[in-house]
Structure 1
Amino acid sequence: MSAYPTVEGEVPFAAPNSGRPCSTWYKVVGDLDKSPNYPLIALHGGPGAGHEYLASLIDLVEQHNIPIVFYDQIGCGRSTHLRDKLGDATFWTFDLFIAELNNLVDHLQLRSKGFCVLGQSWGGMLAGMYAARRPEGLKKLVIAGSPASFPLFVEGGKQQRASLPADIQKVLEEGDRTGNFETPEYKRASTSFYKKHVCRVDPLPEPVQQAFANLKDDSTAYNTMQGPSEIVVTGSLKDWDGSEQAKNINVNTLLLNGRYDEVSELCVEPWFRSIPRIKWVVFENSSHMAHWEERERYMQLVGRFLTSY
């Protein structure tokens, strides 16, 4: 149990074209009013992975007195689920998730105090596009393990797959050919990729396991926007490139990824090229989840960045 004040709540969210009342579940760890530092809003990946796997960020509260706002994005976790929107690319958009984030910021009255945003994986794509709109109150941005270009993400993934053992490559290619990603062989082959390029901590931390459980429970947003897996990209994001919009980001930005990250340097580099005020750090002993794989260094680096003015 955290020694810091923790508040949970739900905020009504008028999701455009949802056809029903929606709400966003959130949790604040730390004191929004008494801390001298800007609060940090954590944007989880997926889409649909839920907030739990970012739990290690609580170190930032304990070590740097940075209050953190966790929340489950619409479509997953304890927020409203919309399973009937499967395949509806006009519903699952950046605009939807940005509207939800703005709604939460306003509910927590963070505009006047100021706030920072950290996005991991899909959450970093969302954070980048949010920051590109220059929202009132945003002070700093952290983009962690997030592609700036999905075509480059796919290209980097092909290069990583080519380094896997030949028998695993063969199984993955057979899944691509048939579209059958549910065979025991394909799942085993995918696990080999995940252990190398998604999270190298063995066994997987329980909060990371929960992210996979969330996606299994409701993969509506993930299947619509990403596709059937991290390896096979068929969703509405497949042609997305945010590097041009990223030129509009006007806050100091910290860019992070792991040396073995499924989000390879190939697709991270356009962030670095486009964002005017940015520092890029690669974690040499991490894949996609440096906040677990190199936890101590990660928190030192992020904490120092967020508390330096």
Structure 2
Amino acid sequence: MKHLTAPVLIMLLLMISCTNNQKENLTSPEKSSYLDYSGSDDQITGGIKMIPVETAIGTFNVYTKRMGNNPKIRVLLLHGGPGGTHEEFGNFDGFLPKEEIEYIYYDQLDSYYSDKPNDSTLWTTEHFVEEVEQVRKALQLNKDNFYLLGQSWGGILAMEYALKYQENLKGLIVSNMVASAPSYTKYANEVLGPQMDPDVLKEIMDMEANHDFDNPRYSELLMNHYYTEHILRMPLEKWPKSVNLLFEHLNPNIYVYMQGHSEFGMTGNATLKDWDVSGRLSEIKVPTLMLGAKYDTMDPTYMEWMASEVQNGRSVTTNGSHLSQFDDPETYFSGLIKFIKDVDAGEFK
């Protein structure tokens, strides 16, 4: 065998080195820290923290669960109801982890997974705003990473929080909630109600007039003729388990007290029936996303208008209904993820 010349030898060594590097890259990919809970104070609980909240009648614990780890993007989820649960966000697990967005489930006081003092003196927007603020501090969320997403009643709470504490926020997301309870009631009665079968609507309205809300027929009519059109546009037998758990775990006491019995807006003695911050939206300066839906119980045109009222807003309208994360997840999550990433990159317009 002839001796190899110096240039040939160098070339062979380089080829061997490149091959080894390629093998190393294939066998040792760079690991993401997104799912690394090592050394965190919630590792042993799988991200769950029961956070003490001080109230006028004592200190109680609320449930939170952190999903993922991204110190730059942390989304606190405010569920609806009032008296609902974090289970309404059950399919967020299917969309946000691949984007490495950290999100935090949270059951408000008197909701299923949290303490239940069952004291109506705490069932006010003022209390719940301060509760969110205490949760924020406990989780060390701040203006550099804190996104607040509220859906339905959670949207009311998110707007109220922003109007008082927006200096703590990096971004605000209002999902499926208008800024005026009277406007919500008007839309339900003047637009959505007349779309129903007149005989069905009359039967529902007669039972409401007689306060016959516990009648199984009332729930049956609503579920089959209203909920499957405007709450979640799927046959009832195909509703996801997390949505069924949301309804199973709903606290009716706080729900009726604040929202009322009727699904056609807020009526009777509901404490939220006159709630309206439409005239204050212009005070909100932080980047804001309004997530509406074509078939929602909330007027999608009104939600588009809300995005023009805040100082730095964007609107996305899905083809879904009130739980549009389930019946139009493609539009819902693509809009949500783009908003968060645009804000994070300083490219939000």
Given the two structures, how large is their TM-score scaled by the length of structure 2?
Answer: 0.80
Cα distance in 2 for partners of 1:212, 1:194 equals: 12
Unpaired runs of 5+ in structure 1?
none
Counterpart of 1:212 (choices 247, 250, 256) is 247
**Residue aligning to 2:228:** 195
Cα distance in 2 for partners of 1:237, 1:58 equals: 31
**Residue aligning to 2:112:** 77
Number of aligned residue pairs: 295
Gap change, CA 1:127 and 1:38, over 3 Å in 2 = same
The alpha-carbon deviation at position 298 of structure 1 amounts to 1.6
Counterpart of 1:68 (choices 100, 103, 115) is 103
Worse overlay, 59-68 or 113-122: 59-68
The alpha-carbon deviation at position 294 of structure 1 amounts to 1.2
**Partner letter of residue 185 of structure 1?**
R
Unpaired runs of 5+ in structure 2?
1-33, 38-45
Paired residues of 1:156 and 1:267 also in contact (CA < 8 A): no
The alpha-carbon deviation at position 254 of structure 1 amounts to 0.9
Cα distance in 2 for partners of 1:109, 1:268 equals: 31
Cα distance in 2 for partners of 1:82, 1:269 equals: 38
Paired residues of 1:7 and 1:29 also in contact (CA < 8 A): yes
Gap change, CA 1:251 and 1:59, over 3 Å in 2 = farther
The answer to whether structure 1 residue 21 and structure 2 residue 59 are counterparts is: yes
The alpha-carbon deviation at position 60 of structure 1 amounts to 4.3
Q: Secondary structure at the match of 2:228?
A: helix
Gap change, CA 1:61 and 1:161, over 3 Å in 2 = same
Cα distance in 1 for partners of 2:337, 2:103 equals: 12
% same residue = 27
Paired residues of 1:272 and 1:280 also in contact (CA < 8 A): yes
**Residue aligning to 2:48:** 8
Counterpart of 1:262 (choices 297, 315, 328) is 297
What CA deviation, in whole Å up to 9, does each residue of 1:122-173 have, x standing for no partner?
1111111111124333111111101211111001111201110012111111
Cα distance in 2 for partners of 1:63, 1:32 equals: 12
Gap change, CA 1:267 and 1:149, over 3 Å in 2 = farther
Counterpart of 2:210 (choices 165, 168, 178) is 178
Q: Which has the larger radius of gyration?
A: 2
Cα distance in 1 for partners of 2:341, 2:117 equals: 38
**Partner letter of residue 67 of structure 2?**
V
Q: Secondary structure at the match of 1:133?
A: helix
What CA deviation, in whole Å up to 9, does each residue of 1:214-273 have, x standing for no partner?
22xx22221111011423523011011011232211111111111110112365355234
Q: Secondary structure at the match of 1:69?
A: strand
**Residue aligning to 2:324:** 290
The answer to whether structure 1 residue 49 and structure 2 residue 84 are counterparts is: yes
**Residue aligning to 1:222:** 255
Cα distance in 2 for partners of 1:46, 1:92 equals: 12
Q: Secondary structure at the match of 2:170?
A: strand
**Partner letter of residue 115 of structure 1?**
F
Cα distance in 1 for partners of 2:161, 2:68 equals: 24
Gap change, CA 1:11 and 1:256, over 3 Å in 2 = same
Cα distance in 2 for partners of 1:136, 1:111 equals: 9
Gap change, CA 1:207 and 1:229, over 3 Å in 2 = farther
Worse overlay, 59-68 or 168-177: 59-68
Cα distance in 2 for partners of 1:144, 1:190 equals: 22
Q: Which has the higher helix share?
A: 2
**Residue aligning to 2:336:** 302
The alpha-carbon deviation at position 207 of structure 1 amounts to 0.7
Cα distance in 1 for partners of 2:94, 2:82 equals: 24
What CA deviation, in whole Å up to 9, does each residue of 1:179-214 have, x standing for no partner?
111223222221111110100133111111111112
**Residue aligning to 1:279:** 314
The alpha-carbon deviation at position 58 of structure 1 amounts to 2.3
**Partner letter of residue 59 of structure 2?**
P
Cα distance in 2 for partners of 1:293, 1:121 equals: 16
The alignment's C-alpha RMSD in Å is 1.8
**Partner letter of residue 103 of structure 1?**
Q
Gap change, CA 1:180 and 1:237, over 3 Å in 2 = same
**Partner letter of residue 147 of structure 1?**
V
Paired residues of 1:149 and 1:270 also in contact (CA < 8 A): no
Cα distance in 2 for partners of 1:59, 1:116 equals: 19
The alpha-carbon deviation at position 74 of structure 1 amounts to 0.6
Cα distance in 2 for partners of 1:113, 1:252 equals: 13
**Partner letter of residue 170 of structure 1?**
K
Cα distance in 2 for partners of 1:63, 1:222 equals: 34
Cα distance in 1 for partners of 2:205, 2:301 equals: 22
Cα distance in 2 for partners of 1:51, 1:115 equals: 18
Greater relative CO (CA pairs within 8 A, separation 6+) = 1
